[in-house]
């Protein structure tokens, strides 16, 4: 029995006893000066009048050329794809209809990104001000259910209470932030008029050719919300990486 | 009398639009912009013209073109577009009928060639400047009487400009992190590797090289590094061609999907493994190295064997006791 216990003990050696062998060895000097000819940009031709072209297979307008005083590379040289970068929004009119106090209204639209190969991309979102009328009555941005479920521009939380008022969005689908756990999780949009930074709503370091997500816009008003036509603009910006 | 009849007819034909219900219909936006990236190495005082192609694959729309600077947002290749233009680089359009910040109309399935002129004034300090060419839709007019949001779609293409009068480029690469997430793994685990390179120089750089995995018996596997740009004075997680991919679509909240990785190693590992990397940035440029180790043992299999053995020992000993006790 003692032997068995010893064997068991031996097999369950705590992880912490094994040393952490991180051995990154930087071998840089305090300052490197590299001739442009050596940085794979056809730099040796910087002053020549010759013309070079190194197409990336299948990419539209991709190529590299050099001429007097400049070198240009177009497209991702490591991608071999005929699929250009493309961004779609299925419906740009997000109508909530007539808002009824304490009855949440939702509307959805789909975002789709097409990009070939291992293309990396991001889609960000920002509102051009809160939902408001021309007379400047405002539906404030949501803070979700409040308490432990207080959300912000970078953290989604549960918003299911009919007495929690505001305007926000939830997400489902491909490449969305991990904090949108299910359909009850929402965030407020960052507000450009408050100098807030856009929120990343889709991103991937290795995207396929048809990445799609659904944005669910939600608003809920109280009984004292003044009547009127509440409007705002949400700007979705899709950019490839560098 | 005749005039009165004509007026009545016009009035009848011009029934106010407000009486006709406003049908809400989906308006789709779908834009494509190529090339998605432009890298320009240029001397002060020079100018070039680059042709872009903008396709409208959705409903007809008004579009606006603008150029804004950006910076690296994180070490994953994401960007933060600045709200206002800055920097010495000058942009304009060579199109006869287009200018920046002036809306134009693009029909469905129509294309617009954008002739972007990039000009570098004289006497500009050497350095890197990063911009995005942005094509944004003009949102539709709002529907009165209801609560609504309108979406504006913007698609971008990044422009990386390196200005160098002498042709020299200043890069300072250094490995900031080369590690597996954890040191001890089960033999059947997928092992995540993270490699982050920092560039403290004033110009962007493009890494090339491999991550090598060496086992107990000297067996070696090499994974090529994907050559993505690392901007000046920034860092970026470098990726290598993977041996495995974790499907995170349905596992988004799992630990292994919460953190991005450079490479995921897949296989049946036993013992000590050495991981090393060698990264180059072009001929005669500095080469940087990094190494780390990890251990893998068949814990799950051994746990199963031990548990099965304990159960067998328990059953056998109990059976023996029952055999020895005639009561």
Q: What is the pLDDT of residue B113?
A: 96
Please give the Cα distance from A85 to B135 (Å, whole number): 13
Q: Are A153 and A199 contacting, i.e. CB atoms less than 8 angstroms apart?
A: yes
Label residue B9 exposed, middle or buried (CB < 10 Å: 0-12, 13-18, 19+).
exposed
> Which residue of chain B has the CA closest to A92?
B151
Q: How far is B200 from chain A (nearest CA, A)?
A: 9
Label residue B162 exposed, middle or buried (CB < 10 Å: 0-12, 13-18, 19+).
buried
Distances (CA, A) of B55 to A233, B52, B139: 23, 10, 18
pLDDT in tens, A17-50: 343 333 333 333 333 333 222 223 323 333 333 3
Exposure of B93 in the CB half-sphere (CA atoms within 13 A): 17
Q: How far is B250 from chain A (nearest CA, A)?
A: 10
Distances (CA, A) of B195 to A34, B179, B277: 24, 7, 9
Give the predicted TM-score (pTM) of the model. 0.78
DSSP B133-167: EEEEEPPPPPPTTSEEEEEEEEEEEEEEEEE-SSS
Q: What is the pLDDT of residue B267?
A: 87
- What pairs with residue B56 in β-bridges? B31, B110
Find, among B113, B118, B122, the residue nearest to B43 by Cα.
Answer: B122
Question: Which residues from chain A sit within 8 angstroms of residue B37, using beta carbons?
Answer: 74-76, 240, 242
Per the model's pLDDT, the better-predicted residue between A82 and A216 turns out to be A216
Q: What is the pLDDT of residue B10?
A: 62
Q: Which residue matches tokens 């233009």?
A: B85
- The answer to whether A36 contacts B168, with C-beta atoms less than 8 Å apart, is yes
Please give the Cα distance from A170 to A179 (Å, whole number): 10
Fold of B173-288: Immunoglobulin-like (2.60.40)
What residues does CATH 2.60.40.10 cover in chain B?
Answer: 27-163, 173-288
For the domain covering B27-163, report its CATH number: 2.60.40.10
Question: Which residues from chain A sit within 8 angstroms of residue B249, using beta carbons?
Answer: 174
> Which residue of chain A has the CA closest to B153?
A236
Q: What is the pLDDT of residue A205?
A: 75
Question: Which residues from chain A sit within 8 angstroms of residue B130, using beta carbons?
Answer: 242
pLDDT in tens, A93-120: 998 888 889 999 999 999 999 886 556 8
Closest in B38, B130, B150 to A94, CB measured: B150
Q: Chain centroid to CA B62: how far?
A: 27
Q: What is the pLDDT of residue B282?
A: 78
Find, among A176, A171, A151, A153, the residue nearest to A161 by Cα.
Answer: A151
Q: How far is A203 from chain B (nearest CA, A)?
A: 8
Exposure of B171 in the CB half-sphere (CA atoms within 13 A): 30
Find, among B200, B211, B265, B183, the residue nearest to B236 by Cα.
Answer: B200
Question: Which residues from chain A sit within 8 angstroms of residue B229, using beta carbons?
Answer: 242
Among B50-59, B221-230, B251-260, B292-301, the minimum mean pLDDT is found in: B251-260
Most confident option among A14-18, A88-92, A118-122, B280-284:
A88-92
DSSP A9-67: HHHT--GGGS---EEEE----S---EEGGGTTS-GGGTT-------PPTT-TT-EEEEE
pLDDT in tens, B31-69: 999 999 999 999 999 999 999 999 999 999 999 999 999
DSSP A98-135: S-BTTB-EEEEEEEEEE--TT--EEEEEEESS-EE-TT
Please give the Cα distance from A128 to B74 (Å, whole number): 24
Q: What is the pLDDT of residue B241?
A: 81
| pLDDT band at B98; cut points 50, 70, 90 | very high
Please give the Cα distance from A232 to A230 (Å, whole number): 7
Per the model's pLDDT, the better-predicted residue between A18 and B221 turns out to be B221
pLDDT in tens, B135-172: 999 987 766 556 788 999 999 999 999 998 887 888 88
Distances (CA, A) of B89 to A31, B14, B120, B164: 26, 53, 5, 13
Beta pairing class for B288-297 and B184-186: parallel
Q: Give me the phi and psi of A71, to 5 degrees please.
A: -135, 135
Average pLDDT over residues B274-282: 92
Q: Chain centroid to CA B246: how far?
A: 18
- The answer to whether A92 contacts B285, with C-beta atoms less than 8 Å apart, is no
Average pLDDT over residues B1-18: 58
- The answer to whether B172 contacts A89, with C-beta atoms less than 8 Å apart, is no
Tell me which residues of chain A, numbers 43 to 102, contact chain B at a CB-CB cutoff of 8 Å.
Answer: 43, 46-47, 59-62, 67-78, 84-99
Cis, peptide link before residue B35, omega less than 30° from 0 = yes
Q: Are B54 and B114 contacting, i.e. CB atoms less than 8 angstroms apart?
A: yes
- What pairs with residue B127 in β-bridges? B163
> Which residue of chain B has the CA closest to A233?
B150
- What pairs with residue A100 in β-bridges? A103
């Amino acid at each position: 029995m003692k032997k068995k216990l010893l064997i068991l003990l031996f097999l369950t050696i705590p992880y912490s006893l094994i040393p952490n062998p991180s051995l990154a060895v930087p071998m840089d000097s305090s300052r490197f000066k590299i001739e442009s000819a050596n940085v794979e940009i056809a730099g040796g031709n910087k002053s020549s009048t010759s013309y070079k072209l190194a197409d990336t297979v299948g990419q539209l307008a991709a190529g590299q050329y050099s001429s007097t005083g400049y070198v240009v590379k177009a497209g991702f040289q490591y991608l071999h794809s005929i699929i250009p970068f493309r961004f779609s929004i299925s419906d740009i009119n997000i109508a909530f209809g007539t808002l009824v106090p304490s009855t949440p209204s939702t509307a959805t639209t789909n975002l789709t990104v097409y990009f070939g190969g291992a293309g990396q991309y991001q889609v960000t979102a920002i509102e051009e001000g809160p939902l408001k009328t021309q007379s400047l009555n405002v539906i404030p941005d949501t803070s979700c259910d409040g308490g432990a479920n207080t959300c912000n521009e970078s953290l989604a939380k549960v918003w299911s209470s009919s007495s929690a008022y505001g305007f926000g969005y939830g997400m489902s689908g491909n490449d969305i932030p991990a904090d949108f756990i299910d359909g009850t999780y929402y965030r407020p949009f960052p507000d450009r008029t408050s100098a807030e930074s856009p929120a990343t709503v889709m991103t991937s370091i290795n995207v396929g050719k048809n990445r799609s997500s659904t944005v669910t816009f939600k608003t809920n008003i109280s009984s004292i919300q003044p009547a009127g036509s509440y409007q705002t603009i949400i700007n979705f910006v899709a950019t490839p990486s560098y | 009398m005749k005039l009165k009849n004509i007026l009545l007819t016009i009035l009848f034909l011009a029934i106010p639009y407000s009486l006709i219900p406003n049908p809400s219909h989906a308006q789709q936006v779908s834009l494509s912009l190529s090339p998605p990236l432009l890298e320009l190495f240029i001397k002060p005082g020079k100018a070039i013209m680059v042709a872009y192609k903008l396709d409208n694959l959705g409903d007809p729309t008004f579009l606006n073109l603008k150029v804004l600077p950006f910076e690296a947002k994180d070490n994953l290749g994401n960007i933060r577009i600045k709200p206002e233009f800055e920097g010495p680089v000058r942009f304009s359009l060579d199109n006869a009928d287009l200018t920046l910040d002036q809306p134009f109309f693009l029909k469905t399935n129509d294309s617009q060639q954008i002739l972007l002129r990039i000009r570098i004034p004289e006497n500009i300090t050497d350095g890197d400047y990063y911009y995005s060419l942005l094509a944004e839709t003009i949102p539709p007019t709002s529907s009165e009487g209801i609560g609504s949001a309108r979406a504006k779609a913007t698609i971008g293409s990044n422009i990386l400009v390196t200005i160098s009068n002498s042709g020299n480029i200043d890069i300072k690469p250094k490995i900031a992190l080369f590690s597996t997430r954890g040191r001890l793994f089960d033999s059947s685990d997928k092992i995540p590797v993270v490699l982050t390179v920092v560039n403290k120089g004033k110009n962007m750089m493009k890494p090339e090289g491999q991550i090598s995995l060496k086992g107990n018996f000297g067996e070696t596997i090499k994974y090529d590094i994907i050559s993505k740009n690392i901007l000046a004075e920034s860092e970026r997680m470098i990726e290598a061609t993977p041996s495995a991919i974790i499907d995170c679509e349905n596992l988004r909240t799992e630990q292994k999907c919460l953190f991005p990785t450079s490479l995921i190693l897949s296989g049946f590992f036993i013992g000590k493994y050495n991981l090393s990397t060698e990264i180059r940035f072009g001929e005669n440029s500095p080469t940087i190295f990094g190494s780390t180790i990890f251990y893998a043992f068949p814990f799950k299999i051994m746990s199963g064997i031990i548990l099965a053995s304990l159960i067998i020992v328990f059953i056998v000993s109990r059976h023996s006791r029952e055999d020895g006790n005639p009561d």
